[in-house]
Structure 1
């Protein structure tokens, strides 16, 4: 059932409950404070309404309480007056507390979104050297082709054909540099999942390409088993690439300070038994302790010096928001393995 219809049914149900409370409050004696149950209606409705609408609802409940008081046929008038006053105070306080709670939750969600953006930029900061390496490659090629083009044009007579070939290479390398910058920019956007069908192996290769400079700088041997025949997946490409990038950075950090013969990282993609595509990354680092396994995906929990403990927590949020699962386990020979799966999409890749 669509969310809009569920919302309408919920509001209609609350109107019926309010009507039932009004009838019960009117027909019972003054000593029975049925009107206090309007507070329950407000608590249930505040998440469905704006702040102004919730206040308006509280005013309606107070008005119904007053009308019911004057229409009540039996009981002690003074007792009824006290009970009505208590009910009105309860309705007012409940509305105030409910609105404060909703405002606090909204502030918490906003803070979480800001932390998500900060963590994206922070994790991206670890790729700075790699990004510079990737951008410098096409820029250096552009300079080389430009110098070659000048030499071809300086000949007598000018070699226009060779100069045009040099210009073609310059345009190609410029587009390559632009593509790298676009991918980096997209990784910093804090957007909700925009699910579409895409080729996960190609997305993995893009992140590996961005990280190549960092991998080479630390002398790490990267073994990739990427199945190009996998079906397209349905998820937010940029967000899934962020998860892959975070996992790869963690693996690089895990093996960077180790002995040369253990500077190994293995990544792979495959099908899952449950109808999804699996990404797996294994490192030969120091491994995972039992305590780490218990808290690995908890927010603000980290074993890194200077870390903020948000990378894996956000990764889990992203994967689950895209309909997948993420988990980790220690390797028998040392190191750790991280995996996540995302559902298969029907249709063409993008």
Structure 2
């Protein structure tokens, strides 16, 4: 079974070994390793005191591997603590640091590795006592890990790690002092080795280490909620027990089978958590790479969706522009249609009396052209012509009255809202003529009582006239619309352009019918506009600007009829 696949993420913090919950596969793997260690241990017990060849190099390799593995494990656990702030994680990291440092000084003091009696300051008991402190200190750290789990530190990670490192180094120095000065001639500590081999004190003292390791294993086993780190520390403690029992309790001296077997157990104990942490980091890197790949895919999808959305927005904007253009064209066609209908009605109504007048005039001429003119007949026909003229005049007056005096649907109208509405409606026209529309509207103006549709027709006519007047100009094309409150409770709306200006005519004559400066215009728009404004009780004026263009100003009374 692959260890790399044995710890999937089970919860929200499962990215870390100390937080991931184990599954059945992980539990089976750890129990299998413990069972194997027990079987090998039982196989070694009958031969534990068989003396083998002396090999200080084996001791050097063992301590070097233990130092490297424990130190690397402590660094990784310190790194995880800086993220999780778990006190338990900090304590077990400190335990691994203590084990790595003790392995170093125990190697320096071991006889025959660097010197016959160890480095200066070491005595015959030093290496044994350092091994006792080493094998007892790490289980104490594991016990502290179990008892303090679930608590977080308020200290900053760097301060907490620095404190633990200082405490560990102090403990290592105390152990060195005790194993050198304290063990010399039995000052503080009893002798563990004599000429015949290990003394009885060796087994008594190592029994304490065995109890500590067994207690750590028991506390880990009895936890209600196990984490993956708990399972692997149980494996470490089981191998740690085998190491102590074989190399320091059942054997009789150095370099026997128990000595070598116990140290192999020790190397394995120092390697398990490191191996799992390394494989955990490898898994996390794979997940990170997969997440980065998915993120790039999502980014590409978002980019594609954004492009589609941009096209959709552009399409909708184009559709809105087309709609405004169509609305403007519809308004223009509606005006022309209304004018055509009015002209057709006027022609239809007037053609009858005009036709009668022409016929009567011809008849009158015939009566007067005879050799003896029939004056009475001619007079009678002339009277008929006068009646037809009166009828035509009445027809025109009636149509004019219908056009100007029809009943209006008056309602309260906010002039500023009406201006904004027309600016939005004629936006496409402004773009087509490259005209920028600026406004200066006085806020909180009172409403006027008016026919909203007719006021829109007037504003549309004035704004379109202004845009068309600037179509051939080279100066900045600006349509400036203002609203303000003037004297006598009047609201004034001005439409000012930078076009060609008004023709050289009296100011009021520009509002006469069929007066225009545009080649394709009939010339009745301003006339109709003035009629509408005057029907509302207001006035419509026109004047040239001082610099360029023209200004049209309409005034409307405030109030509701």
TM-score under structure 2 normalisation? 0.30
Greater RCO (Cα-Cα under 8 Å, separation 6 or more)? 1
Give the greater-gyration-radius structure (CA): 2
